[in-house]
Structure 1
Amino acid sequence: MRITQGQFSFLPDLTDEQITSQIKYALKNNWAVNVEYTDDPHPRNTYWEMWGMPMFDLRDPAGIMMEVQDCRKTYPDQYIRVTAFDSTRGWETPRMSFIVNRPKEEPGFQLLRQESDGRHIRYTLHSYATDKPEGQRYR
């Protein structure tokens, strides 16, 4: 199963050259860029771990790509994404977010069905990755 989150998620993985182009676009629009990672890619898990600090004043995409490469070396079997934030309205609004690294094997999700009062049916997603303890999910 291939996790589809953020922009470009239905396309093949972006090359480093394509990632750099997207970072250039974000910087051209004066958006702050940061790198995040997780081993729990549940769609409602919007709070991934930040790699370093957001790069508010960085204007060179090479510096951000260096951070992406460092994060890939440290967490090769986790999901890594680049997010660009726009603060022009006085608060940080995500304008762009896309995955730049994936584990070799993506275990996916299970759809759980629960019947409740009357004819109501509730559904939830269970990430197979969370069956293992944190730090051991993609080994």
Structure 2
Amino acid sequence: MAELQDYNSTPKYETFSYLPAMTPEQVRKQIVYLISQGWNPAIEHVEPENASRYFWYMWKLPMFGEQSPDVVISELEACHRAHPGHHVRLIGYDNFSQSQGIAFVVYRGR
């Protein structure tokens, strides 16, 4: 029988938290998917000790209508450089359902 993972050993912030860390190529594919769905990318960050709160700090305004994965990646990197100890997550806002279509942590703080 396989080893069971302790649920409380690592905090979970989104669905992908249960999977191994994504490679840069996998993150890029998720961004391409987000854009292809017509969702608006937005970036948030927060101190690790406050990550379980409802509100994270928004990095700039959502990138309404952004079509370039490279622009989104550069903003993710800029947020991470500005706040190296914070968790940084990417959100895809769906205009039609007025909800988040996707949200995942790209950089984990210490």
TM bucket by the smaller chain? 0.7 to 0.9
Match of 1:86 in 2: 94
- The alpha-carbon deviation at position 25 of structure 1 amounts to 0.4
Corresponding residue pairs, total: 100
Pick from 76, 90, 102 the counterpart of residue 108 of structure 2: 102
Separation in structure 1 between the aligned mates of residue 63 and residue 54 of structure 2, nearest angstrom: 19
Ranges in structure 1 where 5+ consecutive residues have no aligned partner = 105-139
Q: Which of the pair is proportionally richer in helix?
A: 2
Match of 1:71 in 2: 79
Residue deviations 1:65-103 (CA, integer Å, cap 9, x gap)? 0000001111111111001110114xx301111011112
Question: Which consecutive aligned stretches of 4+ in structure 1 deviate over 2 angstroms post-superposition?
Answer: none
Report percent identity of matched pairs: 27
The structure showing larger relative contact order (alpha-carbon pairs under 8 Å, at least 6 residues apart) is 2
Separation in structure 2 between the aligned mates of residue 3 and residue 12 of structure 1, nearest angstrom: 13
Separation in structure 1 between the aligned mates of residue 63 and residue 23 of structure 2, nearest angstrom: 21
Which of the two has higher C-alpha Rg?
1
Pick from 57, 61, 67 the counterpart of residue 49 of structure 1: 57
Task: Report the RMSD for the aligned CA atoms in angstroms.
Answer: 1.2
Given the two structures, how large is their TM-score scaled by the length of structure 1? 0.68
Match of 2:6 in 1: none
Ranges in structure 2 where 5+ consecutive residues have no aligned partner = 1-8
Q: Which of the pair is proportionally richer in strand?
A: 1
